[in-house]
Chains A and B, each alone.
Chain A
Amino acid sequence: MSKRKPYQREVQSTWWLKSKFYTFYMIREGSSIFITLYSLILAWGILRLSQGEAAFDAWLSVLQHPVFILFHLITLILALYHSITWFSLAPKAVDLYIKGKPLADKVIITGHYIGFIVISLLCLVIVML
């Protein structure tokens, strides 16, 4: 009779704390919670906008509350982290060949960063106009 008894290790729900790589992955995924909330804040702003100037101004002033400032600070950091991970993984989803050679990862990543900077500056300019 077989004496085999393969031992199956259970994956614990805290697996992502066991290696840095996984923790950063979870942070990347976790950034979505903050970005979701940020979108809700904006949606709420639109609601207030539809209710007239006073309501919209009230919304704007709520944003000055330290809790909101702190929240936005964290969201900014996480959003930036999302951008960094997004750009660094971008080459994996690209299947372009130039003269029979695959496009170098570096080129793709740099391209994304340049796009990012241009778009960000453009946003700023548009708002400031």
Chain B
Amino acid sequence: MTPKQTDKTRATQHSKQYVRSHEPVFWGLFGAGGMLTAFLTPMMVLITGLLIPLGLINKTHLNYEKVQAFASTWYGAGILLILIALPIWHTLHRIFHSLHDLGIKRGRDWQQVICYGFAFAVSVFVFTLLLQIVTL
């Protein structure tokens, strides 16, 4: 039987080739970053962006010595790296997808390289800085 093949008269046959996406890598980082952002960022912003600059809590809590001391331990440096870099992987993932939401469909590959490249660059940047600070 060979009816004219319209969409409504079909025998179901699907033999598509399926291509695996590499999104899980980015989604994993996105999820971890998002989790961290959800739990920590509000308080971080409150402390570093408002309470300290406005003098609502004592500045000494975030003075050079204290931060330097913290950053120079290996675990302190590690924590700082995570606190600063991980949210970036979260946010750039979102920004990458938002470009699509806004209808910017051209050059998705380049958009991807730029977005995740940026997150990578910032991570490396912070990492090397911290390497210099850490006194092992």
Contacts and interface: CB of A to CB of B under 8 A. Distances in A.
So, do A and B actually touch in the complex, CB under 8 Å? yes
Interface of A: 11-13, 16, 26, 29-30, 32-33, 35-36, 38-43, 45-47, 49-50, 53, 56-57, 60, 63-64, 68-69, 71-73, 75-76, 79-80, 82-83, 86-87, 112, 115-116, 119-120, 123-124, 127-128
Given A46-B84, A47-B129, A73 B98 contact: no
A129 to B, nearest CB: 8
B88 A36 contact: yes
B101 A46 contact: no
Given A116-B38, A119-B40, A29 B132 contact: no
A76 B42 contact: yes
B-side binding surface: helix, strand, loop or mixed? Answer: helix
A-side binding surface: helix, strand, loop or mixed? Answer: helix
Interface in B84-116: 84-85, 87-88, 90-92, 94-95, 97-98, 101-103
Contacts of A120: 39-40, 42-43
Interface of B: 34-35, 37-50, 52-54, 57, 59, 61-65, 67-68, 71, 80, 83-85, 87-88, 90-92, 94-95, 97-98, 101-103, 122, 125-126, 129-130, 132-133
B52 A13 contact: no
Given A13-B102, A46-B84, A63-B53, A87 B38 contact: yes
B79 to A, nearest CB: 10
B45 A43 contact: no
Contacts of A60: 52-53, 59, 62-63
15 contacts: A30-B98, A32-B90, A32-B94, A36-B88, A36-B91, A38-B49, A43-B126, A45-B48, A46-B129, A63-B53, A69-B50, A73-B50, A86-B37, A120-B40, A128-B61
B105 to A, nearest CB: 10
Contacts of B88: 36, 39
A57 B63 CA distance: 8
B44 A123 contact: yes
Contacts of B47: 123-124, 127
